[in-house]
C-alpha cells in the first residue's frame, strides 16, 4: 500500500494534501514545520507504519533547502518520490530534476489535482522500488518509533487526565490521525468522559486480541479532533486481568503505527506505570502548587533515578498554580531539583471544559492556562525543531 508524508506549516496546503491522500491506499504522516532539518535522518527516523513512498514538501520551504534535501534522499532512498509545491519555472524544474525531485505542483492546486499527482508519484515509487537490486533493500527506510508521551504524577487529583487529553488534541492539529491517547489508569480512568467518547472496545480487548496493524485500529475510538482514543476497561476489576508485559507490548505496537502515543497513567509508581515508563520517550511530570504534591514528585523522581528509568526527555508542569498558595515556583524547583517547564495557572475555564468533555485546546478558549497548554504541546513538535527551542528555560509566573 502507498504511504505518504508531508512537511509544511502552511495549514491550507496541508489540509488539501490530507484530503487528497485520504482516498488513496495507505496513510499520511504530517510534520508541521516550515524548514527542513540538516540531516534526512531527522525525518526518516520519525516515520512510523508502512514504508514511505511519497514525500510532499510544502510551498513554505525554501527551494534551496528542498533541492539539497531531495539530493540527499535520492542518493540513499532512490525509490522514494519527492513532490515539491512551488511555481514550476523553467529554472526550478531543471534544478529539481537534477536533485531528484520527481514532480512539481502548483501551491494552489485543488484536491483532485493533488490526488492525481500523489497517485502518480506513488505508482512511480512502486516501479522504482521493484527495480531496486536486492542489496539496496538494506537501505530502505525502516519503520521508526513514534514518540511515547507518558503523563504522570505520584499523587492523584493534579489534573493528569485533563493535561493528557489536551496534549493529544493539540498534537492532533500538528499530525492529524497520527495521534492516539491511551488511558492506562486501568481502574478509574477518565479519558472517555474527558473526550465524550463511548468506546465499544477498551485496553482489555486490545491486549487480549491480535495486534497487527489492521486489528489494532479496531480497538480504537475515533474522536472529532482527528485523534484516536484507547480507553480504560469499563469494569475496574478488569485491571487485574492486564499484565504489565501486555501493556509494554501494546505501547510498543502503537508506537510503530502512530507518530504520537499519549498515555494517561494512574497515580503512583505501580507495575503498569513502570511498564509504561520502560517504553516512554517523554514523561510529563504534573504536580500541584501544594507541599504534598511537590514532595511526592521529588520522591518519585528519586526512586526512578535509582532504578535508571527516567526517560530522556522530561517536561515538568505545575498545574493549578496560584500565587496565594504560600509557595513559589522557585520553591518547587528547589525541592524537586530540576526546572519547571510549564505553568498552568488556576483557571475556571479548564474545569468547565473538562466537565463538558470538550478539551480546552479543542474549544479554542482564551485563557492563561490554555496558553500554557499550547506551550506544552509545542515541546513535542518534530525533533529537528528543537534547535529553535530553549528547553528548560526558567519560567515566570506572574
Task: Say which range, 97-101, 345-349, 355-359, 389-393, has the weakest mean pLDDT.
Answer: 389-393
The answer to whether the predicted template modeling score (pTM) of the entire model surpasses 0.95 is: no
Q: For the chain, where are the E strands, in sequence order?
A: 4-7, 28-31, 54-57, 81-85, 103-105, 147-152, 179-184, 221-223, 227-230, 260-265, 282-288, 313-321, 342-345
Which residues, 6 or more positions from 125, have their beta carbon under 8 angstroms from its beta carbon?
2, 53, 54, 79, 80, 81
43/334 Cα distance (integer angstroms): 37
165 grid coordinates: 487529553
351/185 Cα distance (integer angstroms): 20
82 grid coordinates: 519527492
pLDDT digits (tens, 9 = 90+) for 238-297: 999 999 999 999 999 999 999 999 999 999 999 999 999 999 999 999 999 999 999 999
- Beginning with the edge strand found earlier in the chain, give each strand of the sheet holding 81-85 in spatial order: 28-31, 4-7, 54-57, 81-85, 103-105
Q: Which residue has the cell 509544511?
A: 8
Of the chain, the percentage scoring pLDDT greater than 70 comes to 92
pLDDT at 220: 96
pLDDT digits (tens, 9 = 90+) for 226-246: 999 999 999 999 999 999 999
201/212 Cα distance (integer angstroms): 16
Average pLDDT of the segment spanning 126-148:
67
Radius of gyration of the chain, Cα coordinates, nearest whole angstrom: 22
- Judge whether residue 23 has pLDDT over 50: yes
- Judge whether residue 128 has pLDDT over 90: no
Average per-residue pLDDT in the chain? 90
Please report which helix (H) or strand (E) contains residue 193, including its range: helix 191-194
pLDDT at 133: 57
101/73 Cα distance (integer angstroms): 9
Give the model's confidence band at 135: pLDDT under 50 very low, under 70 low, under 90 confident, else very high.
very low
Euclidean distance between the first and the last CA atom of the chain, given in angstroms as a whole number: 52
Domains and CATH numbers, the chain: 4-130 (3.40.50.2300), 147-396 (3.40.50.300)
250/238 Cα distance (integer angstroms): 16
53 grid coordinates: 513512498
Hey, how many other C-beta atoms are within 10 angstroms of the C-beta on 395? 17
pLDDT digits (tens, 9 = 90+) for 203-229: 999 999 998 888 898 999 999 999 999
Q: At 233, phi and psi to the nearest 5?
A: -55, 150
pLDDT at 387: 54
Amino acid at each position: 500500500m502507498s504511504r505518504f508524508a508531508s512537511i509544511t506549516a502552511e495549514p491550507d496546503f496541508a489540509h488539501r494534501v490530507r484530503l487528497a491522500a485520504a482516498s488513496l491506499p495507505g496513510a499520511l504522516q504530517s510534520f508541521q514545520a516550515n524548514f527542513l532539518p540538516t540531516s534526512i535522518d531527522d525525518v526518516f527516523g520519525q516515520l512510523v507504519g508502512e514504508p514511505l513512498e511519497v514525500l510532499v514538501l510544502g510551498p513554505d520551504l525554501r527551494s534551496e533547502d528542498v533541492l539539497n534535501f531531495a539530493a540527499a534522499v535520492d542518493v540513499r532512498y532512490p525509490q522514494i518520490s519527492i513532490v515539491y509545491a512551488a511555481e514550476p519555472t523553467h529554472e526550478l524544474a531543471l534544478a529539481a530534476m537534477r536533485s531528484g525531485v520527481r514532480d512539481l505542483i502548483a501551491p494552489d492546486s485543488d484536491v483532485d489535482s493533488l490526488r492525481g499527482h500523489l497517485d502518480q508519484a506513488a505508482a512511480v515509487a512502486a516501479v522504482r522500488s521493484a527495480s531496486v537490486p536486492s542489496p539496496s533493500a538494506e537501505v530502505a527506510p525502516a519503520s521508526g518509533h513514534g514518540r511515547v508521551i507518558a503523563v504522570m504524577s505520584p499523587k492523584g487529583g493534579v489534573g493528569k487526565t485533563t493535561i493528557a487529553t489536551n496534549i493529544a488534541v493539540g498534537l492532533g492539529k500538528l499530525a492529524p490521525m497520527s495521534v492516539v491517547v491511551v488511558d492506562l489508569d486501568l481502574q478509574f480512568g477518565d479519558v472517555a468522559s474527558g473526550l465524550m467518547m463511548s468506546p465499544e472496545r477498551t485496553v482489555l480487548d486490545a491486549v487480549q486480541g491480535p495486534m497487527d496493524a489492521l486489528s489494532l485500529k479496531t480497538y480504537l475510538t475515533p474522536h472529532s479532533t482527528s485523534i484516536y482514543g484507547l480507553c480504560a476497561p469499563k469494569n475496574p476489576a478488569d485491571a487485574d486481568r492486564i499484565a504489565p508485559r501486555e501493556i509494554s507490548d501494546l505501547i510498543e505496537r502503537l508506537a510503530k503505527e502512530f507518530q504520537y502515543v499519549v498515555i494517561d497513567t494512574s497515580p503512583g509508581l505501580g507495575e503498569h506505570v513502570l511498564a509504561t515508563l520502560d517504553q516512554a520517550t517523554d514523561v510529563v511530570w504534573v504536580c500541584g502548587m501544594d507541599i504534598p504534591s511537590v514532595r511526592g514528585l521529588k520522591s518519585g523522581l528519586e526512586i526512578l533515578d535509582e532504578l535508571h528509568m527516567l526517560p530522556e526527555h522530561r517536561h515538568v508542569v505545575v498545574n493549578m498554580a496560584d500565587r496565594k498558595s504560600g509557595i513559589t515556583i522557585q520553591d518547587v524547583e528547589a525541592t524537586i531539583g530540576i526546572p519547571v517547564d510549564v505553568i498552568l495557572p488556576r483557571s475556571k475555564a479548564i474545569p468547565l471544559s473538562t466537565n463538558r468533555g470538550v478539551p480546552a485546546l479543542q474549544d479554542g478558549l482564551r485563557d492563561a492556562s490554555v496558553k500554557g497548554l499550547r506551550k506544552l504541546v509545542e515541546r513535542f513538535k518534530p525533533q529537528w525543531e528543537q534547535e529553535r527551542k530553549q528547553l528548560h528555560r526558567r519560567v515566570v509566573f506572574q
